[in-house]
Amino acid sequence: MNSGEKEFAYTRADFDNVRKLLYQLTRIHLADSKDSMVYSRLVRRLRALKIPGFSQYLHFVQTHEEEVQHFINALTTNLTAFFRESHHFEVLADYLSHHSVKRIWCAASSTGEEPYSIAMTVAETMGCFDAGIEIIASDIDSGALQTAQAGIYNEDRIKSIATHQRKQFFLKGKGSQTGNVKVVPELARMVTFRRINLTEHKWDIDGPVDVIFCRNVMIYFDKPTQLEILQRMVRLLKPDGLYIAGHSENYSHATHLVRHLGKTTYHPARVQSA
């Protein structure tokens, strides 16, 4: 890393300290290759706060509680899409048709595309917006949650959605909102958002939960953390509940916790006490 070319002094030790702090706060593990990413993500905070270098910024985060959330928000990766890994929504529709579902938890909901895809699937399968199914969406990133709650997206984000779904579930923006779409209020009302750090001891979620979507977040944690979170989630699930993981998250080694159903979908291995 050549700090001489950079606007702010940034050394290997700064990168290691950022990693350490992020791990303490979120258990997200950043690989060695993420040093440039860390610089580009945090540099905006340094500019906004008029802080001259990374070591001073780290000190600032550790002494100013209100900066901690900005630090986390800057370093999380929020990549997502409507109906990402579309087979999961077919599995959900089938599950809804055969079970009396009351509660669905989307545990790393990012900017909202995933929980709104769940809500669209529920609305279509149940034939109404108010089927009495609670959809709770959570994330550690307060900025992503704000975007999710607003429910406003660039039109490009819904290009791959079927025309009839675009018509039923989105409103076209006008005036200053031209080029944007907004989820219809009936869909927005189906989802409640809250901030939950999956690595914290307590989660603001009541059990039992019928379906948990926990996709593309475990990859950021080490194996012991993944298993700990999986175990706690399985305890929240109904005995025949559904756990849906991301495409690169595999729990074939955790047969004491989950039973493999199909492509990255699982049932609890056995009845777990809540």
Ligand X SMILES: C[S@@+](CC[C@H](N)C(=O)[O-])C[C@H]1O[C@@H](n2cnc3c(N)ncnc32)[C@H](O)[C@@H]1O
Q: How far is the CB of 260 from ligand X (least distance, A)?
A: 19
- Show the binding pattern over residues 137-166: x = contacts ligand X (CB under 6 A), - = does not: --xxx--x----------------------
Q: Pinpoint the alpha helices (H) of 103-198.
A: 113-126, 142-150, 163-169, 185-188
Choices 58-66, 107-115, 147-155, 157-165 (CB under 6 A): range interacting with ligand X: 107-115
CB 119 within 8 A of CB 135: yes
Q: Pick the catalytic residue: 41, 166, 232, 235? A: 41
7 is in an annotated binding site: no
Binding-site member from 198, 209, 236, 245 for ligand X (CB under 6 A): 198
Q: Is 35 a catalytic residue?
A: no
139 is in an annotated binding site: yes
d(CA 270, CA 125): 28
Residue 82 makes contact with ligand X by CB under 6 A: no
Q: Compare residues 28 and 38 and give the one whose CB is closer to ligand X.
A: 28
Q: Compare residues 55 and 197 and give the one whose CB is closer to ligand X.
A: 197
198 is in an annotated binding site: yes
Choices 93-101, 106-114, 125-133, 165-173 (CB under 6 A): range interacting with ligand X: 106-114
Q: C-alpha angle with apex 133: 251 to 114, nearest 5 degrees?
A: 50
Q: Pinpoint the alpha helices (H) of 64-210.
A: 65-75, 87-98, 113-126, 142-150, 163-169, 185-188
CB 189 within 8 A of CB 123: no
Residue 26 makes contact with ligand X by CB under 6 A: yes
- Total residues belonging to the chain: 274
CB 257 within 8 A of CB 230: yes
> Which residues, listed in sequence order, are joined to residue 209 by a DSSP beta bridge?
237
Total site size for ligand X, rule CB under 6 A: 24
Calculate Rg over the CA atoms of the chain: 20
Q: Interaction with ligand X in 209-228: which residues (CB under 6 A)?
A: 215-217, 220
CB 257 within 8 A of CB 233: no
Residue 79 makes contact with ligand X by CB under 6 A: yes
Q: Is 189 a catalytic residue?
A: no
17 is in an annotated binding site: no
Question: Who's near 181: CB < 8 A, 6+ residues apart?
Answer: 152, 153, 154, 155, 157, 158, 166, 170, 171, 172, 173
30 is in an annotated binding site: no
12 is in an annotated binding site: no
d(CA 185, CA 8): 44
Q: How far is the CB of 44 from ligand X (least distance, A)?
A: 17
Residues in contact with ligand X by CB under 6 A are: 26, 28, 76-80, 84, 108, 110, 114, 139-141, 144, 196-199, 215-217, 220, 246
Residues within the annotated binding site for S-adenosyl-L-methionine? Answer: 78, 80, 84, 114, 139, 197-198, 215-216
Residues within the annotated binding site? Answer: 78, 80, 84, 114, 139, 197-198, 215-216
